[in-house]
Structure 1
Amino acid sequence: MASPLFLCILLVVFGSYLSTISAAGNDKESFVVVSTSSFQTQDVCSTSTSTVMPRPDRAGAVVPLLHRHGPCAKSPSTDKPSSFAEALHRSRVRADYIMSRALRGRGTTTIMEGKVSIPAHLGTSVDSQEYVVTLGLGTPAVEQVLLMDTGSDLSWVQCAPCNSTDCYPQKDPLFDPRKSSTYAPIPCGSDVCKSLQSNHLGNGCSMNDNGTQSQCGYRVQYGGGLKTRGVYSNEALTLAPGEVVKDFHFGCAYKQRGADDKTDGLLGLGGAPQSLPVQTSALYGGSFSYCLPPVSSGTGFLALGAPSNTSGFSFTPMTDFMDDGTSYLVKLTGISVGGKQLRIPRKVFEGGLIVDCGNIISHLPSTPYAKLRSAFRAAMAAYPLIPSDDDDTCYNFTGYSDVTVPKVALTFTGGVTVDLDVPNGVLLDGCLAFTESGSDGYVGFLGNVQMRTLEMLYDARGGGLGFRAGAC
């Protein structure tokens, strides 16, 4: 017969379990019951690109946005991270290099109290980027599948002639500038070329094929090991039917080294003069937005220009990160889990968050991350944790048809509170999609998992970042 002490302990543990489930079941506003099948990757494209559009009062260009590993992609990538640990590694590498780039101009490669010490390279890691758009380049327009990146400025594609030793293999034909009636290399002495030098993107000058003109060279080295260089060029860019940018500056790449991403190139959406939003500011006001789909089998959008009516958005102030001109920074002020605000001193958020669609996982300073992890684990106490050397929060949902997940909300400057999508804006492969960025006050990152289903509006004129829920 069991002892009274054993029965007492059993009742306390079982009572705690029941209270957790009861709280989840009765508070519909704070917890969400989701099917475990939603965590599984789908092999069929679930959304038609014609059905996912931003608000109808937008006057700019709209482009379908897809996950590069998903079934909706024209040429799905084959280099999908094999595990949450690999995705986390890629995310940390990218974060380290963004910090290194920002500090490069200040004559140091040591990041925030010596946490990271790496060579300072230009650009950021492309291995972590997950979303692509298809645009038309040249006349006649040739489709190009490009990685979308708010952490880069200069856009580029691989150009013919380029053999297999100089360029990585891609599924689409290489863009051939010789077949376009609107292609022109940018002269080396032009102001446009000089702007590359000022942003450390220049690569000297070279003569064209007939030796009559000195061409502007570009070079970018990314944190993930990819290097790209070629001729900085001028071309017509077709964003959507009837939406053509006549003089778009991009890199025509003839020499690649490093990562093999299977895509045709990269689309830079940062804040420096070489980016697409800045180049098209006369047409679209410098503003843009995107919505990342909740799952890789869904479809989102990239839109240039702000809607005429922004009443559906909540805005928080946005600034440049350390005046590097590329990255966008916002200030986090609070976090809630399961409807309960966590007790976190606001001063620990002083470093801000870099808003980075190319970073998979969000990075938080030590105290906010520890508080979030503790509260999330308490709310998910009914489910077994998977042991982790990195102390990640990953669950084994084997045998469960449904799980109850707490809502997580982020509050930004101005009292803007954003509810993350559940489960896809909180969990990645059954793991809490947050990690530690460093000590309190250290700069963090708002990753693309947390952006899912939100329309993220980068309002250049208002200097703010807008959030609109349930946009895709």
Structure 2
Amino acid sequence: MASSPLLVCVLLLCSCCLIALGGNERGFVVVPTSTSSPSNPAACSPAPQGMQCNATDEYESKFQTNSEVLSVSVTSDPNRASMPLAHRHGPCAPASVAATNRPSRAEMLRRDRARRIHILRKASGRRITLSDVGVSIPTSLGAAVDSLQYVVTLGFGTPAVSQVLLIDTGSDLSWVQCQPCNSSTCYPQKDPLFDPSASSSYAPIPCDSKACRDLDPDTYANGCTNSSGTSLCQYGIQYANEDITVGVYSTETLTLSPQVSVKNFSFGCGLVQRGTFDLFDGLLGLGGAPESLVSQTAETYGGSFSYCLPAGNSTTGFLALGAPSNNTAGFLFTPLHSVPKEPTFYLVNLTGISVGGTQLDIQPTVFSGGMIIDSGTVVTVLPETAYSALRTAFRSAMSAYPLLPPNNDEDLDTCYNFTGNSNVTVPTVALTYDGGVTIDLDVPSGVLLDGCLAFVPGPPDGHTGIIGNVNQRTFEVLYDSGRGHVGFRPGAC
């Protein structure tokens, strides 16, 4: 194929692109078309040894939960504990959540759009109201659950029972489905439901307790429940797509490995779930509010955590609690900010974008609203002027390839037909943050989503945008609230 007239023509055209952009050949990467538009992989390829954590002397630990052996990677750094992370629709996901009905790209983007709209409205301070779904729940919504893509496996209770949870930096309160949930009040999951009565460490939170009063009344608090004959604290969440979970606010031991557990972890024991939930056992909230795992473990881990999202769904990444105690080599740091009155979200300041090694002419005021960095949003949302400049430069650099016509069902408007090409030449895209920190996105996994530029236009200039998870792929992204910064370490998984 390397000597075919078609490929020679493509390479000549790409050379013209290089000349047009100043001849900076370092600003382009030649990649196989199988990686620029990947199909659903058939087998899981574990991450290379030593790439799952930014620490030395890793060792593997196993613990037996619910007749299933879970392998958890734990670092020798006493300030850190990490666990494998996988794409929920890929072959590396636990068998209990491996869905045969992977959503189409159009459906994935529809779900993603709902999440983006919700997050941006909430960040702007706009009021969000609930529809009448027959269950009394709080007046604020959580971000959409059906758009979440990455899962980890943890142990709940004593003895520990494995639960596969979606991770979400846009949510705070964690929850799992609990017995005596049945088919009419809960959605199907392959793992057995968590049974509080079988755990010696489970404790429901009384309704008149301080812990119940401290539950955010505008987001999660939902009064009391007397279903057991005792007045217990009740939580409730409705997500942006109108999925709901309601149950008993409780405490339990959360096991990360035989050596690492979180005692008295506050979570929702879900008794009523309605909506489009699919196979997973619950959700792990990694936001910045008091109800999140990050906040609850701040005394031990300093309010810090990191993750590495793999380049594709056929490899694994990791989720880690805590920041490296001594070794931050390889990280580039930018200041971490908060969204006013919305402690859930993590905000960074974007200052520039380059394509093919050439900085785009975008005024700094365009980015003045900041960018929420989010694990659950798929594609990055840029202010209008920034997106327009990026699209124009990227299309120019990719002019050797036919541009597909717009799809009215999708937001992505820069998609390519690579038919007949075994390799394609893709321009690099770099994001520059506060402090002059420039992050070269992984090519192609951090730039293209199924052959499409993984960015969409969003709010007007000066408003808040979102850094989606495609742009974060292969980086260890370290959220360090204690030190007030976010770090990026390339090539971490």
2:370 matches 1:352 = yes
User: TM-score, normalised to structure 2's length?
Assistant: 0.86
2:141 matches 1:122 = yes
**Contact 1:45–1:298 (CA under 8 A) maintained in structure 2:** yes
**Contact 2:403–2:417 (CA under 8 A) maintained in structure 1:** yes
**Contact 2:336–2:481 (CA under 8 A) maintained in structure 1:** no
2:399 matches 1:381 = yes
Q: Secondary structure at the match of 2:26?
A: coil
Q: Secondary structure at the match of 1:29?
A: helix
Q: What residue number does 1:446 align with?
A: 467
2:85 matches 1:65 = yes
Q: What residue number does 1:455 align with?
A: 476
2:165 matches 1:182 = no
Which of residues 13, 16, 20 is equivalent to 1:19? Answer: 16
Q: Secondary structure at the match of 1:363?
A: strand
Give, in angstroms, the shift of residue 25 of structure 1.
12
Q: What residue number does 2:175 align with?
A: 156
Residues 366-445 of structure 1: pairs in structure 2 closer than 5 A = 366-388=384-406, 389=408, 392-445=413-466
Q: Secondary structure at the match of 2:251?
A: strand
**Contact 2:128–2:141 (CA under 8 A) maintained in structure 1:** no
**Contact 1:363–1:444 (CA under 8 A) maintained in structure 2:** yes
Give, in angstroms, the shift of residue 28 of structure 1.
4.5
Give, in angstroms, the shift of residue 197 of structure 1.
3.9
Give, in angstroms, the shift of residue 102 of structure 1.
4.0
Which of residues 228, 231, 236 is equivalent to 1:219? Answer: 236
Task: Please tell me the residue identity of whatever aligns with 2:87.
Answer: H
Give, in angstroms, the shift of residue 22 of structure 1.
6.3
Which deviates more from structure 2 when the two are superposed, residues 51-60 or residues 181-190?
51-60
Which of residues 308, 311, 322 is equivalent to 1:294? Answer: 311
Which of residues 253, 256, 267 is equivalent to 1:236? Answer: 253
Which of residues 220, 225, 243 is equivalent to 1:201? Answer: 220
Q: Judging changes above 3 Å, is the alpha-carbon distance between structure 1 residues 14 and 155 closer, same or farther for their aligned structure 2 residues?
A: closer
Q: Judging changes above 3 Å, is the alpha-carbon distance between structure 1 residues 159 and 342 closer, same or farther for their aligned structure 2 residues?
A: same
Q: Deviations over 1:119-178 (max 9, x none)?
A: 974210012110000000001100000000000000000001111110010111111111
Which deviates more from structure 2 when the two are superposed, residues 58-67 or residues 400-409?
58-67
**Contact 1:101–1:121 (CA under 8 A) maintained in structure 2:** no
Q: What residue number does 1:7 align with?
A: none
Q: Secondary structure at the match of 1:216?
A: strand
Q: What residue number does 1:247 align with?
A: 264
Give, in angstroms, the shift of residue 310 of structure 1.
1.6
Q: What residue number does 2:110 align with?
A: 89
**Contact 2:140–2:218 (CA under 8 A) maintained in structure 1:** no
Q: Judging changes above 3 Å, is the alpha-carbon distance between structure 1 residues 79 and 150 closer, same or farther for their aligned structure 2 residues?
A: farther
Structure 1 unmatched ranges of 5 or more: 1-12, 110-118
Q: Judging changes above 3 Å, is the alpha-carbon distance between structure 1 residues 441 and 76 closer, same or farther for their aligned structure 2 residues?
A: same
Q: What residue number does 2:191 align with?
A: 172
Give, in angstroms, the shift of residue 19 of structure 1.
1.4
Q: What residue number does 1:30 align with?
A: 27
Give, in angstroms, the shift of residue 317 of structure 1.
0.9
Q: What residue number does 1:131 align with?
A: 150
Q: Distance in 2 between matches of 1:71 and 1:123?
A: 28
Q: Secondary structure at the match of 2:164?
A: strand
2:310 matches 1:311 = no
Task: Please tell me the residue identity of whatever aligns with 1:462.
Answer: R
Q: Judging changes above 3 Å, is the alpha-carbon distance between structure 1 residues 289 and 398 closer, same or farther for their aligned structure 2 residues?
A: same
Q: Distance in 2 between matches of 1:201 and 1:298?
A: 35
Q: Distance in 1 between matches of 2:251 and 2:181?
A: 19
Task: Please tell me the residue identity of whatever aligns with 2:421.
Answer: Y
Give, in angstroms, the shift of residue 101 of structure 1.
3.3
Q: Secondary structure at the match of 1:374?
A: helix
Q: Judging changes above 3 Å, is the alpha-carbon distance between structure 1 residues 48 and 435 closer, same or farther for their aligned structure 2 residues?
A: closer
Q: Judging changes above 3 Å, is the alpha-carbon distance between structure 1 residues 230 and 370 closer, same or farther for their aligned structure 2 residues?
A: same
Q: Distance in 2 between matches of 1:325 and 1:248?
A: 20
Q: Secondary structure at the match of 1:326?
A: strand
Give, in angstroms, the shift of residue 322 of structure 1.
2.3
Q: Secondary structure at the match of 1:89?
A: helix
**Contact 1:24–1:31 (CA under 8 A) maintained in structure 2:** no
Q: Secondary structure at the match of 1:282?
A: helix
**Contact 2:403–2:414 (CA under 8 A) maintained in structure 1:** yes
Q: What residue number does 1:53 align with?
A: 52
User: TM-score, normalised to structure 1's length?
Assistant: 0.90
Computed over aligned residues only, the root mean square deviation of the Cα atoms, in angstroms, reads 2.2
Residues 271-286 of structure 1: pairs in structure 2 closer than 5 A = 271-286=288-303
Q: Judging changes above 3 Å, is the alpha-carbon distance between structure 1 residues 391 and 307 closer, same or farther for their aligned structure 2 residues?
A: closer
**Contact 1:186–1:233 (CA under 8 A) maintained in structure 2:** yes
Task: Please tell me the residue identity of whatever aligns with 1:63.
Answer: M
2:358 matches 1:336 = no
Q: What residue number does 2:62 align with?
A: none
Give, in angstroms, the shift of residue 330 of structure 1.
0.6
Q: Judging changes above 3 Å, is the alpha-carbon distance between structure 1 residues 138 and 350 closer, same or farther for their aligned structure 2 residues?
A: same
Q: Secondary structure at the match of 1:440?
A: coil
Q: Secondary structure at the match of 1:267?
A: strand
Give, in angstroms, the shift of residue 51 of structure 1.
5.1
